[in-house]
Amino acid sequence: MAQNPEFPDLGQVGPLSFIAAAGVVTLLYDHLLTFDQEVRYVWKAKWTVPKFLFLLIRYVVPCAVALTTYQLGGIFHKNITLAFCRRWFGASALMCLITTGPGHFLVMLWSWILCERNRQVMLGMLGLFAAAQVFSIGFCIFSVVQTSHIIGTVQKLNFCVLERRSVLPYLFIPGLLCEGIGLLAVFWKSLESRKDHIDLVDAHCEEGAPYVLVLFVMQLANLLITLYIPPYLIFVCMPFTWSVTNITVTRLILNLRKHALDRRMSAQSVSCETPGPRVHFADQ
């Protein structure tokens, strides 16, 4: 690949590379901080699909982000080849798709809970989620196929770069859609006038709304990054937003799980079970 005068110098890439590494460190540190909550609120529950998806993103994402930062960031390698960058771009795109899909599904599940498990809402959300995932898979495959034309290296910096954006911005539209649905569910429930189980539903809104707002902002940031920043900086920005997104999803689920169990214990203490929606992990 010929040297392009618009490609980065060390003054641009260096700080952003260390920001990406800081995202990985923050993700691992948050994992340690919340491990006791994970054991208390998740591991003691029976195995269900939400529990499996939570543990998938909980443990696969840190490994995937750390590996992507290590392989593509140019911090630890002395010589990066074009074949190496192409191979790891495809691998990182696949890992991102596998690890972000479950997080979107959990947010959709939370949105369904806010709608009091309405069957029509559930079917609509499942259909929308399935369509979004098919959309993501299609564009992910297309992006990987196009890597031979859009990816290159800057040998001076041992750095993988994208020469143009291709279809990368479209990969973040499904996530933005899922988080947007979550925000709409919160807004709708805040205006909903029925009083049935309203305290518990309001509590779910209060506990989850800030996290879903952060997720929406992060998905929007990913979209704007791939649309507007120079293509050669995309690799060094993605690990940080990937890490923050994972932290937010896991804390959302842990917080809702804690709230549901606290409600149950409070109800049992007064010998009165309070009906209503909760994050379903099926306790032992």
Q: For residue 113, what is the domain's CATH number? A: 1.20.1070.10
Residue 274 inside a domain? The answer is no
Q: What is the structure's pLDDT at 170?
A: 77
Q: What is the structure's pLDDT at 193?
A: 46
Domain count, the chain: 1
Q: Are 86 and 146 in contact (CB under 8 A)?
A: no
Q: Where are the beta strands (DSSP E) in 57-201?
A: 151-154, 159-162
Helix (H, G, I), strand (E, B) or coil at 153: strand
Residues spanned by the domain of 50: 20-262
Residue 13 inside a domain? The answer is no
Residue 77 inside a domain? The answer is yes
Ordered mean pLDDT values, 10 residues apiece, the chain (284 residues): 47 66 88 92 86 89 81 61 78 79 80 74 79 80 73 71 75 78 72 52 62 83 83 77 88 83 70 52 51
Residue 210 inside a domain? The answer is yes
Residue 11 inside a domain? The answer is no
Residue 1 inside a domain? The answer is no
- CB < 8 Å & 24+ apart, contacts of 193-202: 196/116, 197/116, 197/275, 197/276, 197/277, 200/263, 200/274, 200/276, 200/277, 200/278, 201/114, 201/116, 201/276, 201/277
Q: Residue 158 and residue 140: Cα distance in Å, rounded?
A: 25
- Computed over its alpha carbons, how large is the radius of gyration of the chain? 21
Neighbours of 227 (CB within 10 A): 11
Helix (H, G, I), strand (E, B) or coil at 272: coil
Q: Where on the phi/psi map is residue 276: left (φ > 0), alpha (ψ -120 to 50), or beta?
A: left
Q: How far is CA 98 from CA 1, 36, 203, 228, 258, in A?
A: 30, 26, 31, 25, 26
